């Protein structure tokens, strides 16, 4: 996954923390797409539109 | 003796159905809600649908919310339930397709999904990331998610390597301070155990790294 082929380029952020420390669950999650997933731009408008509908408005 | 809830708190304004509460709730919680739904469903559009359902349901049930309690675990539980509902509907659709075909379309639904703890941790990590400065978030995303080295990030952001290193270190410290509890003991799901969660599909099916 890493793009650097230079073995001297050991500047992985995790290497800046305490030596010998196990990778934390936080670090695992930081590699997971879910924590970075962007909320769709139109979602708030979709929610507001649904809430503005009359309660008895049935979807067609 | 009970204490009166703060009349200006989001919880109180939400429980009263005050219109200013909804945008604030959206700004504060849409990120963690979306991350939670995405982790469970592995699909952006389905996750958006789950968040929409959850926020609409929450708003419609606002009068039943006790403002002396925190909104966060309540919204988390509603989000998870909405994701389960969306998941079940999708599973039924997938099952119908597999019955009409000689191929096993349901095979993709046999992958083990995240645990409840993992889903709750996803909420917490996203919530913490949303509190960071956008520049700090960006370097963490490029480093951890996209897998770039600090030198590469410096190049991408056309910023001095030293600045990137110090920004990353600062972001890590801030994140660690917000998530100290996740570095020590397992942090249990704040809601009741629920065996109705989706367990057969994960975001790994739908999420792709950018490199």
Concatenated DSSP letters of B132-144:
S-HHHHHHHIIII
Burial label, B72 (beta-carbon count in 10 A; 0-12, 13-18, 19+)? middle
Residues in chain B: 211
Q: Which one of A12, A37, A49 makes the best mutation probe of the B interface by having the most chain B beta carbons within 10 Å?
A: A37
- pLDDT score for B102: 44
Could you tell me if A5 lies within 8 Å of chain B, comparing CB atoms?
A: no
DSSP B69-127: S-HHHHHHHHHHHHHHHHHHHHHHHHHHHHHTSSS-GGGGGGS----HHHHHHHHHHHH
Judge: B209–A1 Cβ closer than 8 Å, yes or no.
yes
For tokens 């000689």, name the residue: B102
Cβ atoms of B53 and B60 closer than 8 Å: no
- pLDDT score for B209: 54
Residue B164 tokens, joined:
């990137």
Nearest Cα neighbor of B28 from B125, B151, B131 is: B131
In chain A, which residues have their Cβ closer than 8 Å to the Cβ of B80? none
Residue B28 tokens, joined:
């504060």
pLDDT in tens, B87-97: 999 888 877 65
A 10 A CB-CB count for B63 gives 9
Judge: A47–B34 Cβ closer than 8 Å, yes or no.
no
Confidence grade of residue B7 (pLDDT, cut at 50, 70, 90): confident
Instruction: State how far the alpha carbon of B84 is from the alpha carbons of B17, B39, B61, B114, B133, in Å.
Output: 26, 11, 19, 13, 32
Is B24 or B103 the better-scoring residue by pLDDT? Answer: B24
- pLDDT score for B200: 37
Q: What is the mean pLDDT of the segment spanning B55-62?
A: 95
Judge: A37–B179 Cβ closer than 8 Å, yes or no.
no
- pLDDT score for B1: 52
Which pTM does this prediction carry? 0.78
pLDDT at B65 over 90: yes
Judge: A4–B149 Cβ closer than 8 Å, yes or no.
yes
Closest-CA distance of chain A to residue B102, Å: 33
Could you tell me if A21 lies within 8 Å of chain B, comparing CB atoms?
A: no
pLDDT at B186 over 50: yes
Q: What is the mean pLDDT of the segment spanning B13-29?
A: 94
pLDDT in tens, A7-28: 334 465 555 444 445 457 888 8
A16-20, A54-58, B7-11, B180-184: which is most confident: B7-11
Judge: A46–B52 Cβ closer than 8 Å, yes or no.
yes
pLDDT at B136 over 60: yes
């Amino acid at each position: 996954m890493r793009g650097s082929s230079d073995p001297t380029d050991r500047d992985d952020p995790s290497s800046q923390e305490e030596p010998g420390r196990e990778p934390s669950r936080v670090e695992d999650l930081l590699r997971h797409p879910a924590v970075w997933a962007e909320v769709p731009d139109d979602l708030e408008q979709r929610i507001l539109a649904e809430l503005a509908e009359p309660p008895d408005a049935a979807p067609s | 003796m009970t204490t009166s809830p703060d009349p200006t708190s989001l919880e109180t304004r939400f429980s009263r159905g005050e219109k200013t509460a909804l945008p604030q709730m959206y700004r504060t919680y849409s990120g963690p809600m979306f991350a939670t739904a995405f982790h469970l469903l592995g699909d952006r559009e389905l996750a958006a649908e789950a968040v929409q359902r959850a926020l609409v349901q929450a708003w419609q049930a606002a009068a039943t919310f006790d403002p002396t309690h925190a909104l966060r675990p309540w919204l988390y539980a509603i989000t998870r339930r909405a994701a389960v509902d969306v998941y079940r509907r999708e599973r039924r659709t997938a099952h119908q397709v597999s019955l009409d075909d000689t191929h096993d379309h349901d095979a993709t639904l046999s992958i083990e999904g995240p645990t409840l703890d993992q889903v709750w941790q996803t909420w917490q990590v996203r919530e913490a990331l949303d509190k960071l400065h956008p520049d700090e978030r960006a370097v963490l995303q490029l480093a951890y998610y996209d897998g770039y080295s600090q030198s590469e990030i410096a190049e991408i952001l056309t910023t001095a390597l030293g600045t990137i290193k110090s920004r990353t270190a600062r972001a890590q410290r801030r994140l660690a301070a917000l998530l100290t509890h996740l570095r020590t003991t397992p942090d249990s799901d704040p809601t009741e155990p629920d065996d109705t969660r989706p367990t057969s599909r994960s975001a790994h099916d739908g999420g792709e790294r950018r490199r």
